[in-house]
Each structure stands twice: as C-alpha cells, then as structure tokens.
C-alpha cells in the first residue's frame, strides 16, 4: 500500500485517507489478515511475551473481557435458535432432553463434533459474525455429556477442558 501524504495539508490528508480506506475496504482487510499472520510468525516470541505481560498486568480487565465475550457468544448462539436468553437446547436432539434434568452450567455444543480444533477462534468468529452458527447450540453440562455418550463420541465435548476459555 503506497499512500503519498507528504506535504499534503492535514485536513485533505485525512479526507484522502478516509476515502482510500472506504474504496479499498476489502483489500485492506485481506492485507491486514495476511500481515498480522506474518507478523505473528516473525515475532512469535515477542508477541507471546508481550501478551503474557499484558494479561498479568491487567488480570481483572482481561477476565472481564473474556466473560463479556463468552456471554455475547452465548447470546448470539441462543438467538440463532430464537431464544432471547441462553438456555439448554437438548430438545433439538430427539430423546436427549429425557436423559437427564438440566444442570445450570451452560456450554457450547458443536452438533457435528470437532470442537477441539476450533477453540478460541470459534468465539471470535461467532462474535464478529464470520462464523456459521448452524452447527452450534447451547447445552447444559449434563446434556452435553449425555449427548456425547448418545452418539458415542467422546471428542465432541464431554471433556470440559474443550470448553474452558
Ligand atoms: Zn440441559
């Protein structure tokens, strides 16, 4: 991206930048996606150390942010299934609801399994709207386990570490 700004008066420079950004929105998005990946690769240790230090210094803030992200993710998935508030949707699988009474702890269920590989990226995708929601639903902890047993798949979500943030 070459942008000639030298010697341009401040106001028109800003206008120009804004127009440029507006006109090249997709290009910039693609570029920064690649750039941040490359940057991370090259500066991996530095980035890791820096974010570790940040988390340490801002423990409460980070915790609060994660909780908000988590709440938001639950809310977005709940709304996909036309719920105003997150609740266990064991009823989406015939016979599952009857296996147990709901527990209070809510988790996100990948209906097709495979939650292990996705982790935090899923949350980001849900919150920023780039992740499909059709294979996600909310289950309580008990129904999550019952569902894993029901389909004979212990990779799909019975391990609570898969869901810890
Ligand atoms: Zn339940």
Whether the predicted pLDDT of 69 surpasses 80: yes
Tens-digit pLDDT profile for residues 13-29: 778 888 888 898 888 88
> pTM for this structure?
0.62
Average pLDDT, whole number, for the chain? 84
Pull the structure tokens for residue 64.
Answer: 């609060």
Distance 148 CA to ligand 1 centre (A): 13
In this prediction, residues 71-99 reach a mean pLDDT of 95
Distance 120 CA to ligand 1 centre (A): 23
Name which of 72, 81, 165, 162 is nearest 114 in CA terms: 162
Distance 74 CA to ligand 1 centre (A): 14
In this prediction, residues 43-72 reach a mean pLDDT of 91
> Percent helix, strand, coil in the chain (nearest 5)?
60, 5, 35
Distance 140 CA to ligand 1 centre (A): 4
Distance 102 CA to ligand 1 centre (A): 4
Distance 70 CA to ligand 1 centre (A): 18
Whether the predicted pLDDT of 30 surpasses 90: no
Distance 19 CA to ligand 1 centre (A): 50
pLDDT the model gives residue 160: 45
Can you tell me the distance from the alpha carbon of 26 to that of 39, in angstroms, rounded to the nearest whole number? 20
Q: Cα–Cα distances in Å, from 90 out to 98, 114, 152?
A: 9, 18, 16
Contact 107, 140 (CB under 8 A): yes
Can you tell me the distance from the alpha carbon of 156 to that of 115, in angstroms, rounded to the nearest whole number? 6
Whether the predicted pLDDT of 137 surpasses 50: yes
Distance 103 CA to ligand 1 centre (A): 6
Can you tell me the distance from the alpha carbon of 163 to that of 145, in angstroms, rounded to the nearest whole number? 12
The residues, any chain, with a CB within 8 Å of residue 84's CB and separated by 6 or more, are 78
Whether the predicted pLDDT of 5 surpasses 80: no
């Amino acid at each position: 991206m070459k942008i000639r700004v030298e010697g341009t008066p401040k106001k028109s420079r800003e206008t120009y930048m804004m127009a440029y950004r507006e006109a090249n929105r997709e290009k910039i998005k693609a570029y920064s996606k690649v750039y941040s990946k490359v940057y991370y690769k090259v500066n991996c240790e530095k980035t890791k150390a820096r974010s570790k230090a940040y988390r340490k210094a801002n423990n409460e803030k980070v915790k609060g942010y994660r909780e908000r992200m988590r709440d938001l993710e639950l809310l977005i998935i709940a709304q996909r299934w036309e719920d105003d508030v997150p609740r266990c949707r064991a009823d989406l699988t015939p016979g599952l609801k009857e296996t147990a009474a709901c527990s209070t702890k809510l988790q996100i269920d990948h209906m097709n399994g495979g939650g292990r590989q996705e982790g935090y990226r899923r949350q980001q995708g849900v919150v920023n709207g780039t992740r499909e929601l059709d294979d996600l639903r909310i289950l309580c902890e008990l129904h999550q386990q019952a569902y894993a047993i029901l389909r004979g798949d212990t990779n799909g979500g019975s391990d609570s570490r898969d869901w810890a943030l």
